[in-house]
Structure 1
Amino acid sequence: MKIIFAGPSLPDAASLAGEAVRVLPPATQGDVLAQVEQGANVIGLIDGGFEYAAPVWHKEILHALSLGVTVLGAASMGALRAAECHPFGMIGIGRIFEDYRTGRLVDDAAVALMHAPSALGSKPLTIPLVNVGATLDAMADSGLLAAGLRERLEDAANAIFFKKRTWRAIVEQCAGIVEPDRPQLLVTLLSNSIDQKRIDALELLKAVQDARDIRSNADLPWKLHSTAFRTRSAL
């Protein structure tokens, strides 16, 4: 059985996954463990809850890995957990994972965004910092940003709470721009916007689709010690 946990990073995951991959809502604490106990052989973690529910616990990922389950992470909560658990065998995918793994990104708030409820398709409503960074990098490389403007835009984005961060809010808060230039800058940002979370999530989905639906028997260089984590009420 193959599972992916997806939400605003890949709202259309169910229509893209195919019959061999089951798509579940963003994971919270205990969800990975539950799928392992139900027979999952491959688990792709993209999105996860964090604000109103306890997030996916590292120990349940390690438990899955200790049983030979292939666990992959990308884009959002998956990238965070993969950066933390890749030394133990979790597979990280995409630019966002690499940025966390190498220390280019440190703050987990860089992947946070506000989105519509699942009943309305989990559509992203604000812009996460990882998408801001990817967009500004590409525009700077293409010569679309004047000297110093990239840094000012990034500073403005960092100063805005994730539930209020939109391209319009970033442009309005950016220092050093004369008012007549703001509308055109907004148009340029919108037309060149890069959804890095979606790019990474699609890469993970492809990896899950291509993975063998079987648990590995490979010996691990570490041992998961028995603790009381599986009996905790939250799980």
Structure 2
Amino acid sequence: MQGDIARAVLDGASVIGLVDGSFETTAAVWHKEILFALAEGVAVLGAASMGALRAAECAQFGMVPVGRIAKAYLHGALDDDAAVALEFGPAELGSPPLTEALVDVEATLERLLEDRLITPLRARAALDHARSLFFKHRTIDALANGDAGFGLLYRENRASQKRLDALELVARLHGTVARRTPPPDGWEFAGSVFWDQALVVARR
């Protein structure tokens, strides 16, 4: 959530990995706090979901996009924020995902195609249908659209590109030197009244 990265920097972090975050019930991680971290010499890597989005947006300032999803956003192959969005269940139940991210639907359809469990025509129809669904409605049952056989195939062969990218980020973090380094040349962090207020909150 907004302020977490700023707090980590103030607490002395030298390496930060961003994977996911809230964006409706709470304010999302702010670009400004990522830039603050980079300006302080903190290595910031992003992958999978919110991390992939922010990494693509802040790559020119030194944030590192990790994994297939982040690189797709970076190079313009993916441009819809909702492609990584999920609806989650209540926190008291462990916040289980209730829907499928579009990037994971694509990964699952690729697996089904590679294993020759569906035809290219069926995969295209399924992907078009998935893209037509609002992210909060993109459940496996909604994806199956009345085709019980497809729903079963999907569940049995489900793939998660978000998970793969998150694991890649964790591996990269283990290989990142844990010390602050000079920020990239060519830009300076510009504060503001609003940023100063945000720092006051982060220090609490």
CA distance in 2, matches of 1:93, 1:219: 18
Query: Does the aligned pair in 2 maintain the 1:73–1:82 contact within 8 Å?
Result: yes
**Paired-residue identity, %:** 46
Q: Is 2:191 the partner of 1:226?
A: yes
In the other structure, the counterpart of 1:49 is 22
> Structure 1 segments of 4 or more deviating over 3 A?
232-235
List aligned pairs for 1:64-75, cutoff 5 A: 64-75=37-48
Q: Which amino acid in 2 is paired with 1:42?
A: V
Q: Which amino acid in 1 is paired with 2:65?
A: G
Q: Which of the numbers 79, 83, 94 marks the counterpart of 1:110?
A: 83
Which structure has the highest helix share of the two?
2
Helix, strand or coil: the match of 2:45?
A: strand
Query: Does the aligned pair in 2 maintain the 1:72–1:93 contact within 8 Å?
Result: yes
Q: Which amino acid in 2 is paired with 1:220?
A: D
Q: Which amino acid in 1 is paired with 2:57?
A: E
List aligned pairs for 1:191-206, cutoff 5 A: 191-206=156-171
In the other structure, the counterpart of 1:29 is 2
Deviation at 1:218, TM superposition (A): 5.3
Q: Which amino acid in 2 is paired with 1:144?
A: L
CA distance in 2, matches of 1:88, 1:119: 38
Runs of at least 5 residues in structure 2 that lack an aligned partner in the other structure: none
CA distance in 1, matches of 2:85, 2:120: 28
Helix, strand or coil: the match of 2:57?
A: helix
Query: Does the aligned pair in 2 maintain the 1:66–1:220 contact within 8 Å?
Result: no
Q: Which of the numbers 166, 176, 188 marks the counterpart of 2:153?
A: 188
CA RMSD of aligned residues (A): 1.8
CA distance in 2, matches of 1:208, 1:119: 30
List aligned pairs for 1:1-235, cutoff 5 A: 28-172=1-145, 182-217=147-182, 219-232=184-197
CA distance in 1, matches of 2:7, 2:183: 22
CA distance in 2, matches of 1:46, 1:149: 32
Greater mean deviation of Cα atoms: 219-228 or 58-67: 219-228
Helix, strand or coil: the match of 2:34?
A: helix
Runs of at least 5 residues in structure 1 that lack an aligned partner in the other structure: 1-27, 174-181
CA distance in 1, matches of 2:35, 2:183: 14
Deviation at 1:215, TM superposition (A): 0.6
Aligned length: 200
TM-score (norm 1): 0.79
Helix, strand or coil: the match of 1:71?
A: strand
Residues 112-171 of structure 1 deviation map (CA, whole Å, 9 limit, x = unaligned): 111234443232221110100111123223333223211211121122222221222111
Query: Does the aligned pair in 1 maintain the 2:39–2:183 contact within 8 Å?
Result: no
